[in-house]
Each structure stands twice: as structure tokens, then as C-alpha cells.
Structure 1
């Protein structure tokens, strides 16, 4: 039976829909919170659309993005060579995996595989490269937003704004970064370790329900 577009892409659609809903909620309630803080300091609140360009919104949004992309980049890279006995998230301890085989050109292979050469070399690491670039862009936007918000608050308090170099010596930006990074590392460690002993029937992130705890991989 030929499945429709939504069935074939339902996982992506579901997560993108949840993302849009959550981002809209963050935007609205962040706007309310920021305006409440501004009014407490004796300033006028921002219009809803103006909040989109504020350091408060940019910092909060990309603070979360960059930690997620860092998590995924490290997860992709570290699972190449590191193992965890019994985990559904680990490659086999002894056997070669399908993902380790050399790419072969063919009619159904991606175009860059068939081109070979430097294009293939790049394509072989394209997932890691994409996550690394997304992390760096998000980290830069988080830095920009946090820097803007920090100086905006200083100006309201009638203090001189800091240069970017001086701002990077302040603890606030690094506190924001590390509090997000540690939660991402913990979440990955949780799925790696919990999938050794726990199961979810039907999920590709779980081993079969009757698989022994020591069985590694799916």
C-alpha cells in the first residue's frame, strides 16, 4: 500500500509542530516577563513585534538551540568509536556495523556518493559538519543576544555599557551556557544508560522487550 505524505513524514511534522507551538509560547510569555521587568525599572514595555529583535528573546532562544546542537554533534561523533555494553544507543562491541561500510556508488546512492573525490569525503562527515555549524551560529546568536540584554540593563541603571571582550569576562553568559550544556549531557547519558535495562515496545530507541540486558545495540 502506498502511504501518503503525512504518514511518511509524520515524525518530522509532529516535532516541528511541537517546536512551533513551544516557540510561540516562549515568545508570548517571554514578552510578558520582559515587559514586567522593564516596568519594574520604570521603563515602557516593548511592543509584541519589537520584542522579536530584543536581546532578551534572542538570548533565551539561541541559548537553548546551541545546547541542543552541541549535544547532537557530540552524540554523533562520540558514538562512532565509544561503546556502552547493553545500550540500545551503542554500536556492537564486537561486530562491524552497516554504518561503518565503505560507500558504494549506485543508481539509488546520493549524488555526492556517485561523484566521489572530495565531495564524497565531505559528505561522509556532513551530519557532524551541519551540527557543528548550527552550534557555532546558535552560540554566536546567544552571545549577541545576551550581550545586548546585559548592556540594555546597564543603560537602564545608568551604567556604562561593556565591550564584548569585557562582557565575556562576566559570569552571566557562561552560567547560561553551562547550565544548558550540563542538562543536555545528562539527557544523553540517561537514554544511553536507561536503554540497557528498560524497554519501550515499538520504539526504535529501545531494544526488543525480550532482549537480554547485555545485548548491545538494537
Structure 2
């Protein structure tokens, strides 16, 4: 089917995502109940675990780092260059100037938002980085608040004063959870940028052509 062929990449990635998060949900539920048994606490149902701060914190802790990686990558590749990398724009090719973009906005197949005026054109021209940045902030917000609930539960269980949500923003635990993921995302992106200078993956848009010289920049 043509629809499956044309959307195969998204479909497969979403299926992989669905299977992964389902597995995380079930495995995390078992871990939570094993911990509850050790501490003589009541067990949770599978549905209750899905809404628990433990599960939500772990999910959005990961989403946060992924959206940070993508937003930083999109914005930084618009500003910075890595000569020879397939992941970099070619510094010798200039982008459309505002007046050129205005002219092209009136082409029949151009996105209609480009004809709404210069402010909308400017926003749309940066919309990918903006939306990815907002998704990062939303994921960080949920990770922070849910982790604060977990920390409060653990403090009360040990007879200690529970930290407030605002106080937890400055807690080392929150930043340990975040930074351990952030560093791996930045490292993997840097490795991809550098390896794409010298290595190839045939037919992938993330790679240069197999016979392309190492100095060629861009896919």
C-alpha cells in the first residue's frame, strides 16, 4: 500500500515507541510492587502505577533529554558549522533572505502561513526549534514536579520533612537525574556529527553519498 510506504518511517518508530513504553510500564510496575513487598506496603494495580509519580517521573526524565537534544541540535545547526559533516549545513550555500522568502511565499505549494505577514513568516521560519524547545520545557516541568512527589513520599516514609516542589528544583537529585541523560544525548549527537564526515550509510538522508569526498558538507 502506498500510504504505508509513504509513512513507513513514522509508523515503525511509533510502533517501537509503543512497545518500549509498554514494556517500561509493565516492568516498572513489577519493580514498584517488589519494593512495596519488601517494605510491607500495599501493592499497586497496573493502572494505578501508570498515574504514579514514579512512572511519570521516569518517563518524562527521558523525554526531557530527547527533546533537549533535538531542540539544541536544530538550533545549533542553524548557527554553527562542521566542515565535512552530513549533519551540518554547507557554509557556502546561503539561506533565503527575507525578501526572497516573501516572494516564494506566494507559490501555490508554499505553506499558507507564509502569506499571513512578516511576523508569521519569521515565527514559522523558526517553528521547529521553538516547538521542540517548548516540548523540552514541558517535559522538564513534569519530570521536576513528579520527582518532587517521589522525594516527598520517600522523606515521609523515613520520618523526615518532605521537600516542597520549589525546594526540589534546587535539589541535587533532580539535577543528577537530568544531567546523566543530557550528557549522553550531547555526546551521541557530537559523535554522529563527526562520524558522518568519514563514514557512510547508503541511502540514508543522514549520510553523504557513498562516493562523496570527506570535505563535502551537508547530505
User: Quick one: distance in 1 between partners of 2:211 and 2:18?
Assistant: 37
1:51 corresponds to: 49
Per-residue deviation, 1:90? 0.7
Measure how far apart 1:192 and its partner are: 0.2
Provide the residue aligned with 1:92 in structure 2: 90
Aligned counterpart, 1:206: 207
Does 2:63 align with 1:69? no
**Contact in 2 for aligned 1:106/1:114 (Cα 8 Å):** no
What SS does the corresponding residue of 2:131 show, helix, strand or coil?
A: helix
Where in structure 2 are there 5+ consecutive unaligned residues?
none
Residues of 1 paired with 2:194 and 2:175: CA distance? 28
* TM-score of the superposed pair, with normalisation by structure 1: 0.93
Tell me the residue number matched to 2:159: 158
Kindly state the Cα deviation for residue 83 of structure 1 after the two structures are TM-superposed.
0.7
Given that residues 41 and 156 in structure 1 are in contact (C-alpha distance below 8 angstroms), is that contact kept between their aligned partners in structure 2? no
Specify the SS of the correspondent of 1:86: coil
User: Are the structure 2 counterparts of residues 99 and 161 from structure 1 closer, same or farther at C-alpha, using a change threshold of 3 Å?
Assistant: farther
> What SS does the aligned partner of 2:46 have?
coil
Residue 179 (structure 2) aligns with? 178
The answer to whether the 8 A contact 1:87-1:193 is kept is yes
Please state how far the C-alpha of 1:17 moved relative to its aligned partner.
0.8
Aligned residue number for residue 20 of structure 1: 18
- Cα shift at 1:28: 0.6
- Taking a change above 3 Å as real, the CA distance of residues 99 and 199 of structure 1, as seen in their structure-2 partners, is farther
Deviation at 1:98, TM superposition (A): 6.9
1:30 pairs with 2:28: yes
Deviation at 1:177, TM superposition (A): 0.4
Instruction: Measure the CA separation in 2 of the matches of 1:208 and 1:123.
Output: 30
TM-score, structure 2 length as denominator? 0.93
Structure 2 CA distance for aligned equivalents of residues 27 and 10 of structure 1 = 26
Do structure 1's residue 120 and structure 2's residue 129 form an aligned pair?
A: no
CA RMSD of aligned residues (A): 1.7
Residue 78 of structure 2 corresponds to which residue in structure 1?
80
Residue 117 of structure 1 deviates from its aligned partner by: 3.0
- Distance 1:205-1:99 versus aligned 2 partners, 3 A rule: farther
